[in-house]
Every structure is written in C-alpha cells, then in structure tokens.
C-alpha cells in the first residue's frame, strides 16, 4: 500500500479500494512523519489519498475560491486594521479571516486543509493573541499604572494610546477569534471520538472508520463519481 | 462608528423599510423555530441573519451589523452544518412542527405583557431617550473619546480603552470556549 | 447638501425614495423566503438562500446610500464575500453528505 501513497499519480486507481486498506495507507504514510504535518504531495492540495475516493472538486468552486479567498482575506485584514476609523475591529476581522479558511477547506477538502494548517498555527494564534492582550495590559502595571493604562506604554515617537489600542485589536483579539474559530471548525469536522482512543495522539483514523461507515459512504462515492 | 443621529427628531412611526425588515425577521424566526427538517431550519436561520444585519444597518449600528454578517453568514451556518453532517437525516412527512398549544399560549401571554410596556419605551432615535441624552455616559463618550483615545470609532474606543478590562474578559471567554470544545469532544489538538 | 438630501416631489428627498426602494427589495426577500421554507428539495433552498443573500447585499448598499454613510458599504462587502461561503457550504452538504463534510 505504501506504493499508492508515494506515487500520487496512482491515486486515481485507488477509488475502489476497500476502506480499511485506505486507513492502513494513511497509517503507513504518517508513521515516519510528525503527526500534524502533511505528507509530501504533488503540489495540489486536493490530491491526497485521505478521502475515500480521490478528491476532486467541481471546476466552478475551486477557481472561484482561488479568486475570492485572497480578496476576502485582504478585506478581513482591512476590517481589523481599519477598525479605529470605520466599523469593524479585531473580532469582526478575525471572524472573516477564519471564514476564509472555512472557504478554502470546503473547496480543497477539510482533511487537506487540516494538514496544511497545522495544529501549531491554530494554537499559536489563539494562545499568542491571549498572551499579547494580557502583556499589553500588564506592561503599564509593571510601570506603576493600572491594567491597560495605554499612555504608560513604552511606545516611542508614536501615540501610545492609539497604537496600544491598535495592538490590542490587531495582535490580541483578532488572532484569538480567528484561531479559536478555526479550531472549532476542525474540531467539529472531526467529530466526537466515542472510542476514546484518540486522546492526544492526533491520529486521523479511529473516528474516520466510524463516520464514513455504512450507506453514507456509498452515497458519497456515488455523488463524487457523477461529476 | 456611532454616527450622530440626524438633527431633526426621528419621527416615532414605523417606516416602510422598518416594517418590511421586521416582517422578514419575524417570519424567518418563526420558520426557524417551526421547521421540522433541521437542515431547513439552519438555512432559514442564515436568512434570518441577513434581515437582522439590514435592520442593524438601518438603525445605524454598523459595528453590530458587521459582527452579525461575519459571524452568522461566515461562521454559525458552517459550524451548524458540520455538526449536522455527523448526524443521520430523517425524512419528515410534514414540513412544520406541530405547535404545542399551552406553550404557545404561555408565550403569547408573555408577549402581550411585554407589549403593554411598549408605550413607556422612548421612540427609536428619540433625542429624549435616556440612553442617548445621558450626559454622563453616552454624551460623555461621544464628546471625550477622540480627545482621550485618538481613534475616530467611538465603539472601538469604548471597547478597547474605556471598557478594556471587560474586553479582556471577553477575549478570555472566547479562548476558554475553544478549550471547552476540546474537552467536550475528547481532543487535545485542534487540527 | 448632497444628492441624497435633494428634494424630488412634495418634500420627499432622494434618500426617502432610496429607503422605499430598499423596502421593496425586502418585500421581494419575503417572497423568496417562501421558497427557502417550503423547499421542497434542498437545491431549492440553496438557491433561495443565494438569492436572499444577493438581495440583502443590494438592500445594504441602498441603505448605505440612503443614510449617506459610505462606510456602511463594508457590511455589504462582507455579506457579498461570505454569502458565497454559505452557498458552497450548504450545496456541498447536500451533495456530499458524509463525504467531505
């Protein structure tokens, strides 16, 4: 089965493979890699063997997402950075940027996006945002002021009040919201691990065989084959 | 950004745009509550958020409207659909739930009681409304926020500076929400 | 005095007529709501939500013009970008239930 994994051109032939052998294939591929990083691929996000059938999206959705996602991400950045002068702010901008990730996940496959956007990134966004917010709040305390007393912030030349608030919005709230929403998305996409064996190892396999068993799997395969 | 209300007192009558938007919102809310098929309820709930965003925009609350747009159109619908994908779908013969008459009566009674208090609530946008004319809170923020924080958006000034500690609490709550989801779903990694 | 405040007929300004147009679009949205609630198939509902989203973008843009608040256009932009996400999410859910989702 490792041949199928290594040679991505052969994934087209693997459509009728039994499901348990698919699980074995992904186990083999991940055995010598860090658990959260992607296996080497041919450059296309959707050419993975993770799906039951080789996952190709409709020719409408993928190019459209390729065009829309950068625009939406830029707009999320604008909403975040321009929150002091127009409607918006860190919360809204972070939600929009997380929604861009949802968009990419729907177009290129959730599992591929999960591999592409490692757990480290998601956790670093959420934790880093919380730490930056707390740090900006605690620096004035260390300098003898009150929590979040922006005018004591040691920001040279620039206006410390304005740029302290911008720092809280851009580096604090927006990453927290974006990271947590992305994390919720990936969590819900994977679902509840009723077996209980998946704690901590980040393996992708146990609940996969639960979720896609039964007639649903056949329906999905049929629907995918029609296009 | 809190735009100051127009100088002329806003007439205390429901305009056409308000009436149509409110009708849309109430209809979508009823359909969401009564739809038998959960997927249909999720879809109609997406439509409900569209009406709410337009309503907030009309009442000059663009920050709230933007949040409604970003959260409900981008996030809530997707998360609900992902949750639904883990369930099995049941085909219902009827499109709507049957209404529990005693519960509907109790809700209607409560609604009528609340409606009786409507006459004492100031008109929307009224310059005499306490929330607007209060010199210690609303007017003080509008007058002082730019001088003290140097940002034009008063909402952001209140959120990040005057009520910064509350906002820190909210950010921690969002963070804790992510952790709680991890615990509930028996996971230790997000992705 | 901007164009929106210009008086057209009997003291009604351009802004009033724009608000009336927005109300008309909302009535159209209520009509489209019938298809979203009734169905009968999920494809009908996907299309109905898509039409509702486009309709709302138009309503928000008209409101922004009528209220002379150009920054309100941001909300219309956000909706235009995210309504696409809602449409592909629901359509993929109906097509590949249990597959990619």
- Mean pLDDT, chain B, rounded, equals 84
Q: Does the CB of A190 have a partner CB in chain B at under 8 Å?
A: yes
Contacts of C75 in chain B (CB under 8 A): 53, 57, 62, 65-66, 69
Query: What pLDDT does C97 receive?
Result: 52
Average pLDDT score over residue span B62-84: 88
Residues B81 and B144 in one domain: no
Whether residue A99 lies inside any domain: the answer is yes
Q: Lowest-pLDDT range, A88-102, A105-119, B163-177?
A: A105-119
Whether residue B124 lies inside any domain: the answer is no
Give which of A56, A62, A223 to mutate to test C binding, by max C Cβ within 10 Å: A223
Instruction: Kindly provide the ipTM of the predicted complex, given to two decimals.
Output: 0.86
Burial class (CB within 10 angstroms; exposed 0-12, middle 13-18, buried 19+) of A206: middle
Query: What pLDDT does A173 receive?
Result: 92
Where does chain B show beta strands of DSSP type E?
none
Domain count, chain B: 2
**Bridge partners for B96 per DSSP:** B35
Residues B2 and B75 in one domain: yes
Please state, in angstroms and rounded to a whole number, the distance separating the CA atoms of residues C58 and C43. 23
**Contact, A98 vs C78, CB < 8 A?**
no
Q: Does the CB of A210 have a partner CB in chain C at under 8 Å?
A: no
- CATH code for position B31: 1.20.120.1200
Average pLDDT score over residue span A83-97: 88
Question: Which comes out higher in pLDDT, residue A27 or A90?
Answer: A90
Of the pLDDT bands very low, low, confident and very high (cuts 50, 70, 90), residue B174 is: very high
Of the pLDDT bands very low, low, confident and very high (cuts 50, 70, 90), residue C25 is: very high
Domain count, chain A: 1
Estimate to the nearest angstrom the gap between the alpha carbon of B149 and the chain centroid.
27
Query: What pLDDT does B135 receive?
Result: 83
Q: Report which DSSP code applies to B35.
A: B
Average pLDDT score over residue span C74-83: 89
Whether residue B35 lies inside any domain: the answer is yes
Domain final position from B92, B119, B150: B92
Q: CB–CB of C74 and A79 under 8 A?
A: yes
Average pLDDT score over residue span B1-24: 64
Residues B76 and B13 in one domain: yes
Q: DSSP characters for A103-140?
A: HHHHHH-HHHHHHHS-HHHHHHHHHHHHHHHHHHHHHH
- Mean pLDDT, chain A, rounded, equals 71
Question: Which comes out higher in pLDDT, residue A158 or C72?
Answer: C72
Of the pLDDT bands very low, low, confident and very high (cuts 50, 70, 90), residue A47 is: very low
Whether residue B125 lies inside any domain: the answer is no
Instruction: Please determine, for residue A88, whether its predicted confidence score (pLDDT) is greater than 90.
Output: no
Of the pLDDT bands very low, low, confident and very high (cuts 50, 70, 90), residue B112 is: very high
Query: What pLDDT does C37 receive?
Result: 82
From C80, which residue of chain A is nearest by alpha-carbon distance?
A72
Average pLDDT score over residue span A177-202: 72
- Where are the alpha helices (H) located in chain C, listed in sequence order? 14-38, 42-66, 73-95
Please give the share of chain B, as a percent, with pLDDT higher than 70: 91
Q: Which domain holds residue B172?
A: 134-191
Whether residue A83 lies inside any domain: the answer is yes
Whether residue B102 lies inside any domain: the answer is no
Whether residue A19 lies inside any domain: the answer is no
Residues B165 and B83 in one domain: no
Question: Which comes out higher in pLDDT, residue B72 or A9?
Answer: B72
Whether residue A75 lies inside any domain: the answer is yes
Q: CB–CB of B81 and C90 under 8 A?
A: yes
Q: Does the CB of C89 have a partner CB in chain B at under 8 Å?
A: yes
Average pLDDT score over residue span B54-64: 90
Contacts of B37 in chain C (CB under 8 A): 39
Instruction: Please determine, for residue A102, whether its predicted confidence score (pLDDT) is greater than 80.
Output: yes
Whether residue A174 lies inside any domain: the answer is yes
Q: Quote the Cα angle for C87-C90-C92, to 5°.
A: 100
Instruction: Please determine, for residue A175, whether its predicted confidence score (pLDDT) is greater than 90.
Output: yes
Whether residue B11 lies inside any domain: the answer is yes
Closest CA to A177 of A69, A83, A65: A83
């Amino acid at each position: 089965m490792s041949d199928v994994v290594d040679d991505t051109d052969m994934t087209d032939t693997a459509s009728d493979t039994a499901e348990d052998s698919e699980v074995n294939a992904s186990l083999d591929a991940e055995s010598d890699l860090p658990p959260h990083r992607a296996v080497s691929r041919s450059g296309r996000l959707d050419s993975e063997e993770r799906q039951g059938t080789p996952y190709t999206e409709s020719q409408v959705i993928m190019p459209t997402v390729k065009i829309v996602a950068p625009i939406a991400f830029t707009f999320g950045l604008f909403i975040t950075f321009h929150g002091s002068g127009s409607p918006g702010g860190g919360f809204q901008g972070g939600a929009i940027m997380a929604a861009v990730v949802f968009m990419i996940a729907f177009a290129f496959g959730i599992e591929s996006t999960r591999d592409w956007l490692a757990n480290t990134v998601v956790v670093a966004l959420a934790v880093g945002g919380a730490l930056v917010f707390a740090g900006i709040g605690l620096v004035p305390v260390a300098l003898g002021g009150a929590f979040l007393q922006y005018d004591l912030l040691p920001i040279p030349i620039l206006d410390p009040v304005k740029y302290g608030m911008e720092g809280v919005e851009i580096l604090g709230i927006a990453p927290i919201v974006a990271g947590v929403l992305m994390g919720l998305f990936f969590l819900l996409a994977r679902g509840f691990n009723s077996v209980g064996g998946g704690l901590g190892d980040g393996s992708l396999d146990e609940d996969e065989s639960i979720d896609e068993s039964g007639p649903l799997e056949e329906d999905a395969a049929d629907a995918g084959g029609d296009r | 950004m809190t735009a100051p209300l127009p100088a002329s007192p806003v007439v205390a009558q429901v305009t056409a745009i308000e009436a149509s938007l409110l009708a849309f919102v109430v209809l979508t809310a009823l359909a969401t509550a009564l739809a038998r098929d959960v997927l249909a309820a999720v879809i109609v709930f997406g439509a409900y958020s569209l009406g709410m965003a337009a309503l907030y925009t009309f009442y000059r609350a663009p920050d709230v409207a933007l949040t409604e747009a970003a959260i409900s159109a981008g996030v809530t619908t997707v998360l609900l659909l992902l949750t639904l994908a883990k369930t099995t779908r049941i085909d219902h013969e009827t499109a709507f739930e049957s209404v529990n008459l005693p519960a509907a009566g109790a809700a209607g009674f409560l609604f009528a009681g609340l409606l009786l208090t409507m006459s004492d609530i100031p008109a929307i946008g009224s310059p005499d409304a306490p929330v607007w004319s209060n010199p210690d809170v609303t007017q003080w923020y509008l007058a002082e926020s730019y001088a003290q924080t140097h940002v034009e958006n008063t909402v952001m000034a209140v959120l990040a500076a005057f009520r910064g500690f509350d906002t820190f609490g909210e950010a921690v709550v969002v963070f804790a929400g992510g952790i709680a989801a991890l615990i509930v779903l028996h996971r230790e990694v997000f992705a | 005095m901007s164009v929106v405040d210009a008086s057209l007929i009997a003291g009604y300004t351009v802004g009033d007529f724009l608000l009336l147009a927005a109300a008309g679009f909302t009535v159209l949205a209520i009509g489209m709501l019938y298809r979203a609630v009734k169905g009968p198939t999920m494809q009908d509902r996907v299309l109905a939500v898509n039409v509702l989203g486009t309709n709302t973008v138009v309503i928000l843009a008209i409101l922004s013009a009528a209220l002379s608040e150009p920054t309100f256009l941001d909300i219309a932009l956000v909706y235009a970008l995210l309504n696409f996400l809602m449409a592909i999410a629901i359509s993929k859910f109906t097509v590949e239930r249990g597959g990619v989702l």
